[in-house]
Amino acid sequence: MKLQSFQDYPFTEGGVCAAQGFKANGVYCGLKHQELSTATQQAAAANEADDAAPKKNDLAMIFADKDCAAAAVYTSNKVKGAPIVVTKAHLQNGKARAVIVNSVNANTCNADGEEKANAMCRLAADALGIAPEDVIVASTGVIGQILPIEPIAAAIPALVDGLSYEGNEEAVHAIMTTDTREKQVAVRFQIGKHTCTLGGMLKGSGMIHPNMATTLTFLTTDCAISPAMLQQALSDVVRVTLNRVSVDGDQSTNDMVCVMANGLAGNHEIKDEGKDYAVFRGALYAVMLNLARMCAADGEGATKLIECVVSDAPDEKTAETIAKSVIESSLFKAAMFGADANWGRIACAMGYSDCEYDVNKVHVDLASAKGKITVAKNGCGVPFSEDDAKTILLEDEIQVLISLGSGEASAIAWGCDLTYDYVKINGDYRS
């Protein structure tokens, strides 16, 4: 997938390690094996091919050279993973130094969940020589299964010993579950005479729906910014990026986006709104927009990234609500999988979006790298070539361009097609 670039924010390599002063690592601690039943473990042990299979990292860490300003947003699901509760408590002072995160097991709906989440923080803190309250903890994976702490404890020494300024690859692979590709990006930007860097990594493929954090995302920057302004920027940018992504309409219990800023770039600390804050917010937007697009493109079973752009709306809320409604429609998503220009499904999704707009002013185009075609004008269908439309919709990135003809506001939402593989993946998720 091609990254969307911004002139003042050139891309750089390194993900969460791109900014100076951040190390990362990821290791395999065997959580998947620990969750298998005894009978299954015995069968696996007897299977030489299984024993020879590569072991995917399932435990990651990010560590800053110095104390950081920190901020986060969390899932608004009423059922919240224990790591969410613990991290919220730790970030009340707006500071952090490290992140520890596991995949495979969500540590959610467990009687000992908070105990285990706190234990992960203590284990990390002891090994790093910092306070447990300076550790952000996160988990992703199966809900409702007890998290075994023993394999995590056993892996901590190797996890910490392997921390490096080039460890982003090991870390990003450790947080993946049903993801089919890594998702990381970083940009550089100028605050006065100082060059700053902001980078991040994301995991998310299924159980993705726009409502707060949407996925597990970890961001780092060497820009100096106060905790209050960091929180303001993060909350604002999440609203127009990750909150506008939907894969399947299911909102996770463990969603979290966190950012740490260590100030090593040497700029004057950003303490209020102004030019420097605007530049920083732009960098955050550049990174999170691309992570959002990566997330949508890698939806479970997906073959296409769908971008819905609603323009000429009376206000941003109307544009956003309609864009989300379209990319969340299962009927529309299925049509995109089949490269079927059934624009009536777009009109249907717009109509039940609980927005006020003049149907008779609606204009709809479908576009991709192969061109653009108009399928509706003034609220009615128009003649178009089905063959040309199919050629456009066979591409792996598709745009749905909707004009409401009623104002100047606009919004964008991202989703993916709905395929047979989505059912296959989720029908066998715990196996």
Dump the DSSP string for 23-69: EEEEE---HHHHHS-HHHHHHHHH-HHHHHS-----EEEEEEEEEEE
Q: Which two tokens stand for residue 276?
A: 């420097």
Contact partners, residue 320, CB within 8 Å, separation at least 6: 244, 310, 411, 413
> Catalytic one among 75, 140, 197, 214?
214
Q: Which residue do the tokens 């952000």 mark? A: 136
Dist CA 45 CA 40 (whole Å): 8
Residues in the chain, overall count = 431
Spatial contact of 255 and 78, defined as CB atoms under 8 Å apart: no
Q: Is 279 left (phi over 0), alpha (psi -120 to 50) or beta?
A: alpha
Helix axes 316-328, 344-351, angle to 10 degrees: 130
Q: Is 81 left (phi over 0), alpha (psi -120 to 50) or beta?
A: beta
- The rounded Cα 313 to chain-centroid distance in angstroms is 27
∠ CA 283-285-286, rounded to 5° = 65
- By C-alpha distance, which of 429, 131, 69, 70 is closest to 256? 70
Q: What are phi and psi of 264, to 5 degrees?
A: -70, -10
Q: Is 214 tagged catalytic?
A: yes
Dist CA 396 CA 224 (whole Å): 39
Dist CA 16 CA 24 (whole Å): 8
CA end-to-end distance (rounded Å), the chain: 29
Spatial contact of 267 and 191, defined as CB atoms under 8 Å apart: yes
Return the HEC string of 190-241.
EECCEEEEEEEEEECCCCCCCCCCCCEEEEEECCCECHHHHHHHHHHHHHHC
Burial of 350 (0-12, 13-18, 19+ CB in 10 A): buried
Q: Which two tokens stand for residue 218?
A: 């970890």
Active site residues: 214
